[in-house]
Structure 1
Amino acid sequence: MTATDSALTGLAQGWCALSLLHGRIEAHIERALQTGHGLSVREYSLLDVLSRQHSGPGGHLRMHQVAESVVLSQSATTRLVSRLEDRGLLNRYICDTDRRGIYTDVSEAGLALLAEARPTNDTALREALDEAALRPELAPLVAAVENTRSQAVP
């Protein structure tokens, strides 16, 4: 084994640990959101991203920007938006300045559900991080996530 092989092995191990942490967190939050609010993690994330839009220049996201924000393909994002629109949680409309652009806003019902679900999401995230911190291979990653949070701009 060369030095490069061991570095790649370490890199691969780090990636596996990160993937494991992400999977555990997402599964824990998914269960909590589904049980308490009938939302998936992706649905919650989409509502959250869209709820941060505002009127005026740069205030709305086009569908491809939404897709990037929730880490889905454009087609998967469109299907997700359609499902939430069918449930009355989102509204789509054509951009006033560019008729090709389609924007999506969270409806009042969507905002209410998001507000109701946010504490569940936050509690589930905290629980998942606390559980993961007990595993030696995940503890440094949890610390990094928590350090990033403490450095975030208010």
Structure 2
Amino acid sequence: MPPVSDAATTWQRILLLTARVENKLATVLQRRHGIGLSEYRALGHLATSPTSELRMQELADKLGLNQSSVTRLVARLNAADFAYRDLCADDKRGVYAVITDTGRARYAEASHTYEETLSGALEEEGRADPRLAAALTAMGALS
């Protein structure tokens, strides 16, 4: 059996860190704000768009989702009155996701929770692994 390379070991540690932090973020956002991590991130992209809207494909690309997944995600946001689908006035084939005032408010509320949870989770992981703490500090994730 060939030895595992340093690169493979490091990548595995990054994946584990990501999974742990993402799990904490998802759990806290769902409990406190009733939204999933994908919904939070979609609202974030829509809220920071200069027009408060994005083409569905652009939103899918920003979230790393396929067209079908982003369509379901926007349907969930629509059901919660956080966003809605709109047709492009110039090109009826173009479909946009548009954030609502309710969605913007939920994103603003959840942003504080997200930032607190992210900082806490990264600090906790850094305390558990000094090498990871050094890497997170170098990346600017820990102060």
Cα deviations across residues 40-77 of structure 1 (Å, max 9, x unaligned)?
Answer: 1111001101111223xxx7432111111112122111
Report the TM-score, using the length of structure 2 for normalisation. 0.88
Match of residue 42 from structure 1? 38
Counterpart secondary structure, 1:103? strand
Q: Identify unmatched segments of 5+ residues in structure 1.
A: none
Q: Whole-Å Cα distance in 2 between the matches of residues 95 and 32 of structure 1?
A: 35
- Residue identity over aligned pairs, in percent, reads 34
Q: Whole-Å Cα distance in 1 between the matches of residues 33 and 75 of structure 2?
A: 18
Cα RMSD for the two superposed structures? 2.2
Q: Whole-Å Cα distance in 2 between the matches of residues 75 and 142 of structure 1?
A: 34
The 5 A counterparts of 1:21-60 are 21-55=17-51, 60=53
Contact 1:18 1:141 in 2 (8 A): no
The 5 A counterparts of 1:25-104 are 25-55=21-51, 60-104=53-97
Counterpart secondary structure, 2:5? helix
Q: Identify unmatched segments of 5+ residues in structure 2.
A: none
Report the TM-score, using the length of structure 1 for normalisation. 0.83
Pick 1 or 2: higher relative contact order, CA cutoff 8 A, min separation 6.
Answer: 1
How many positions carry a matched residue from both structures?
A: 142
Report the CA distance between 1:144 and its aligned residue.
4.0
- Residue type of the partner of 1:139? A
Counterpart secondary structure, 1:61? strand
- Residue type of the partner of 1:43? E
